Amino acid sequence: MSDIRSRKAVTNPEFRRRGIYILPNLLTTAALFAGFYAIVQAMTGRFEHAAIAIFIAMILDGLDGRVARLTRTQSAFGAEYDSLSDMVSFGVAPALVIFEWAMKDMGKWGWIAAFVYCVGAALRLARFNTNTEVVDKRFFQGLPSPAAAALIAGFVWVLIDWDYSGPDVRWYAWALTLFAGVTMVSNFRYYSGKDINLRRSVPFIVVLAIVLFYVLVSSYPAGILFGLFLCYAFSGYVMAVWDWFRRRKPA
């Protein structure tokens, strides 16, 4: 029986296509599991593991879209499933992690900031799904939810690594959570990187820069990743100020 199935997989192109179609959805499911795992770890007080799980979810989320495009297996189901997974991994999970770690003793101020972040992620994902055909592909409108989640997770990870406890930095955590939530629903532009063609040849210096980047991140992941995503979060504000000054210049 197994021999018959294997021969069908080789001879039937529809069977092979169905197998490839599953691949991006498996990556989306893995990203969803990483977000769920982050929530479970936060509830049990293992916040460093929760922060790392959010970064893993971000990597998997980037892979599923790339795989779907490379294998030409995009679908409406995959897009909706990806959005639901993103809401868990980059909306609910970071809000719960930062709330449990730093803001749960702040009363209503703590849960209000966490809710602002959560609803910001939901609105950001809904706007992204409805504006895919009308926006410039080179830029995101508002801070992407994976980057906002990485900002929150990186903050928790780096301060735990520096031996700070959550209550010691609760107001910093509160301000960062509000900043991330509001920036997600802003109109600031953020470079998307979607114009990068992976099939095109690149100079050797680009490959060397990528290797150096991996070496830099591996030397101190918590600090480097948090610094990178903090710079990325502010890049939208810098670009908005630059555009404002450019518009004010006389013709």
Ranges of H-type helices in the chain? 2-11, 13-43, 47-70, 76-87, 93-98, 108-130, 145-161, 170-184, 204-219, 221-248
Q: Which residues of the chain have pLDDT under 70?
A: 1-21, 132-136, 195-199, 202, 250-251
- Give tens-digit pLDDT for 209-218: 888 888 888 8
Structure tokens at 127: 């706007």
Task: Please give the share of the chain, as a percent, with pLDDT higher than 90.
Answer: 62
Answer for the pair 145, 233: CB distance below 8 angstroms, yes or no: no
Instruction: Please state which CATH class domain 2-248 belongs to.
Output: mainly alpha
Spell out the residues 6+ positions from residue 2 whose beta carbon is closer than 8 angstroms to its own: none
Distance CA 68, CA 112 (A): 37
Residue 160 φ/ψ, nearest 5 degrees: -65, -40
For residue 164, the Cα-to-chain-centroid distance in whole angstroms is: 25
- Tell me the domain boundaries of the chain: 2-248
**Cβ contact 177:114 at 8 Å:** yes
* Pairwise CA distance, residues 141 & 151, whole Å: 17
